[in-house]
Amino acid sequence: MENLIVVYQALPFLLQGIITTLGLVLSALALGFIIGVPLSVGQVYGSPWTKKFIGLYVWFFRGLPILVLLFLFYYGLFNMIGLNLSAFMAAVLVLGLRSSAYQAQIFRGSIQSLGQGQLLAAQSLGMSKGMAIWNIILPQALRMSIPGWSNEYPAMLTESAVTYAIGVMEVLTRGNFIASRTYRPMPIYLTCAIIFILLSYTGMKILHILEEKVRIPGFEE
């Protein structure tokens, strides 16, 4: 009973964290998408040097633990170049850049699975390569990427809790704060877990609906 009261009292404070958590996750995913798409195009169609550079970028952001990246950028790089970012903004930037590396690989796989034929056909009609990629390749590659991309959302959601380490006021940071005050870790962390599960479930549902909505007729399962 006492546990319930603790949770009840903590709930408004925890729920405010949802805004931060979702804001962080959605912004980082969006940033990752905006950077990831051109990266994937460059990785497939770019010059050898472009490919090499992108390969290095991907290797860097996929090769380091998130915590290392967060500390490196937030306490290190951003300070060094005099970029005075809030913990939240820094987290968005780091998680977003990291996600772009992963997302680029998802999109690259889809682009490559399309093959060269449609690109050649588009060019044979007088489209420039860029025009063909934009109008023909990407609309299909992005659709095909949705199932794979759906992994990015729960992955990002669970990873977002790590930003606790630089003090972003997301769900876990708030939970931790209350747990250490009330000495009741179990109910509080359980509540945090339920919040994460619900966020994850809702997001996946929405992505699934999106996948159905943009399905190309004739491609049945």
Contact residues: another protein, CB under 8 A: 117-118, 120-128, 131, 135-136, 139-140, 143, 216-219
Residue 209 per-residue DSSP state: H
82 vs 117 by CB, closer to another protein:
117
Q: How far is the CB of 130 from another protein (least distance, A)?
A: 10
Q: Cα–Cα distance between 146 and 202 in angstroms, integer?
A: 16
Q: How far is the CB of 77 from another protein (least distance, A)?
A: 39
Q: Cα–Cα distance between 155 and 204 in angstroms, integer?
A: 11
9 vs 118 by CB, closer to another protein:
118
Q: How far is the CB of 219 from another protein (least distance, A)?
A: 5
118 vs 158 by CB, closer to another protein:
118
Q: Cα–Cα distance between 102 and 149 in angstroms, integer?
A: 9
Distances in whole angstroms, Cα of residue 203 to Cα of each of 22, 35, 67, 107, 196: 10, 21, 25, 20, 11
Q: How far is the CB of 209 from another protein (least distance, A)?
A: 19
Total residues found in the chain within this entry: 221
Q: How far is the CB of 125 from another protein (least distance, A)?
A: 4
